[in-house]
Amino acid sequence: MSSDEPVTGKLWGVGIGPGDPELVTVKAARVIAEADVVAFHSARHGKSISRAVAAPYLRDGQIEEHLVYPVTTETADHPGGYQGAMDEFYEEASQRLAAHLEAGRSVALLAAGDPLFYSSYMHMHKRLAQRFEAEVIPGVTSISAASAALAMPLVEGEEILTVLPGTLPRGELTRRLRETDAAAILKLGRTYPAVRQALKDSGRIDETWYVERASTTRQKIDAADDVSDSDVPYFSIAIVPSPSNAHRDDAAPQGELVVVGLGPGDQAWTTPEVQHELSLATDLVGYGPYIDRVPERPGQRRHSSDNRVEAERAAMALDLAKNGARVAVVSSGDPGVFAMAAAVLEVAAEEQWRGVPVRVLPGMTAANAVASRVGAPLGHDYAILSLSDRLKPWDVVAQRISAVASADMAFAVYNPASKSRTWQVAAMRDLVLEHRSPDTPVIIGRDVAGAQESVRVVRLADLDPAEIDMRCLLIVGSSMTTVVENEHGTRVFTPRRYPG
């Protein structure tokens, strides 16, 4: 730089923390005290929270630039609306600060919390950092202050924390709350009614805390659902803490049983809603191989059992919930399709369990998973049958096979064979051949979405029972089911139109 070039000042983005002056960092305090100009924002009432926090570190003789927002939450009469009014304000404010920087003065622009975290500082940074030297001093965020006020961990281990603005549409807020382990919701105030409803819709309201003006002498903590909508200021935050710490110590343990479906194999096919419930559960109950598919969490108890004791498993799970545990009964696929939901609800109907709340969360069932691998063989009316005769006599199974076959519907076959049941597949094939062409396509899906996945399409007449086991699901087509072979592979579909 040549000696005759003007020396410009430096812009400092100074994070001053959540409100307690003692949470201003040592570096921030030094820069505030040394700056030629201290700039800060406020609403039109003129009271700047940032200046009040920084007051202990100001010195006599400093220039103060008070940047007053033209609007906050009210409607703007600017031709460009609210955004137009704010853009014009930020442009004018940046010019005011640029005049000081061009004159060689250092400028400390105060930012509540952290300068680059939902802060107005970033609008000045975008406009000035290309022209002047700029440095950002990080600050303690309101999220950290609220977590400290609660004395409660936000996240542990591999848990996920999601930061959400309360201005999101309620449906989007609900979806994201269902998908995350822990959350912090900012920008409350007038948005609180919608935020509260999203917390209810996502099932998170009972574990959520409301923290107002964290770290200040006016700090307030309350259960999120106990707060009046009219009493929520902008400087407040809703915290959904780590699932390991979600339940309030002053509340009696509220037991609950949730029956969940993991989907057919890959964890990617387990819904976010189910993953969230699994993270909250104190106890997991289910068939051993299904329990093994759930990632382990510290402190979570796992109760594995054999696949032939459904009623006993349901009773144990209900007993745990009755005594205050939050229980997830784990099924593969969808819990309502040849799985644990019916068994749990049947046992729960008995007098001794009627006080236990039971919910069922859906999962992708194996029939839809297998169907998707070849296209849309279940694209029209279809049925679902189980070949197991352990809980119903074979005569009933045979009658249903014949009825579905004669009705010309595609159908999915669960539990086609096991080590002790080896003849039912051949019997089913022969019954269907009484009503269907030998060329009827049959999809054999094995371990779909698992490590040993295989999917094949064979003629009904060529269905070999020796190739079928309990890890298989069969889909038998109707007379309209079509197989298309091309360079992309085999595609099977049952058209939605029907002749006649």
Q: Identify the CA nearest to 320 among candidates 294, 356, 372.
A: 356
Per-residue model confidence as pLDDT tens digits over 89-140: 999 999 999 999 999 999 999 999 999 999 999 999 999 999 999 999 999 9
Q: Does the predicted TM-score (pTM) go above 0.75?
A: no
What phi and psi values does residue 428 have, to the nearest 5 degrees? Answer: -65, -45
Is residue 124 domain-shared with residue 18, that is, in the same domain?
Answer: yes
Give the C-alpha separation, 185 to 187, whole Å. 7
Three-state SS for 307? coil
Is residue 64 domain-shared with residue 125, that is, in the same domain?
Answer: yes
Is residue 307 domain-shared with residue 373, that is, in the same domain?
Answer: no
Segment (H or E) for 278: helix 272-280
Per-residue model confidence as pLDDT tens digits over 284-323: 999 999 999 998 887 889 998 877 788 899 999 999 999 8
Is residue 115 domain-shared with residue 161, that is, in the same domain?
Answer: no
The answer for 117, left when phi > 0, alpha when psi is -120 to 50, beta otherwise, is: beta
Is residue 183 domain-shared with residue 103, that is, in the same domain?
Answer: no
Asked if residue 473 is part of any domain, the answer here is yes
Q: What number of residues does the chain have?
A: 500
pLDDT higher at 242 or 204: 204
Q: Using pLDDT thresholds of 50, 70 and 90, give the confidence band for residue 4.
A: low
Q: Using pLDDT thresholds of 50, 70 and 90, give the confidence band for residue 75.
A: low
Q: Using pLDDT thresholds of 50, 70 and 90, give the confidence band for residue 473.
A: very high
Share of the chain above pLDDT 70, in %: 96
Per-residue model confidence as pLDDT tens digits over 474-497: 999 999 999 999 888 899 999 998
Asked if residue 500 is part of any domain, the answer here is no
| Structural domain range at position 285 | 256-361
Is residue 53 domain-shared with residue 153, that is, in the same domain?
Answer: no
Asked if residue 103 is part of any domain, the answer here is yes
Tell me, what CATH number does 306's domain have? 3.40.1010.10
User: Does 251 have pLDDT greater than 60?
Assistant: no
Q: Using pLDDT thresholds of 50, 70 and 90, give the confidence band for residue 419.
A: confident
Give the C-alpha separation, 481 to 380, whole Å. 9
| Res 1: pLDDT | 46
Q: Using pLDDT thresholds of 50, 70 and 90, give the confidence band for residue 252.
A: very low
User: Does 141 have pLDDT greater than 60?
Assistant: yes
| Res 247: pLDDT | 52
Q: Which of 346, 361, 376 is the last residue of a domain?
A: 361
| Res 38: pLDDT | 97
Question: Which class for 47: exposed (0-12), middle (13-18), buried (19 or more C-beta within 10 A)?
Answer: exposed
Q: Are 422 and 448 in contact (CB under 8 A)?
A: no
User: Does 74 have pLDDT greater than 60?
Assistant: no
Q: Which of 105, 139, 173 is the last residue of a domain?
A: 139
Q: Using pLDDT thresholds of 50, 70 and 90, give the confidence band for residue 76.
A: low
User: Does 47 have pLDDT greater than 70?
Assistant: yes
Q: Using pLDDT thresholds of 50, 70 and 90, give the confidence band for residue 235.
A: confident
Q: Using pLDDT thresholds of 50, 70 and 90, give the confidence band for residue 177.
A: very high
Q: Identify the CA nearest to 345 among candidates 355, 359, 332.
A: 359
Instruction: Kindly report the three-state secondary structure assignment for every residue of 218-259.
Output: CCEEEEHHHCCHHHCCCCEEEEECCHHHCCCCCCCCCCEEEE
| Res 435: pLDDT | 96
Indicate the average pLDDT of the chain: 91
Is residue 223 domain-shared with residue 118, that is, in the same domain?
Answer: no
Q: How many domains does the chain have?
A: 4
Rounded to an integer, the average pLDDT of 177-199 is 94
User: Does 56 have pLDDT greater than 50?
Assistant: yes
Asked if residue 5 is part of any domain, the answer here is no
Q: What's the token pair of residue 9?
A: 């000042």
Asked if residue 251 is part of any domain, the answer here is no
Tell me, what CATH number does 182's domain have? 3.30.950.10
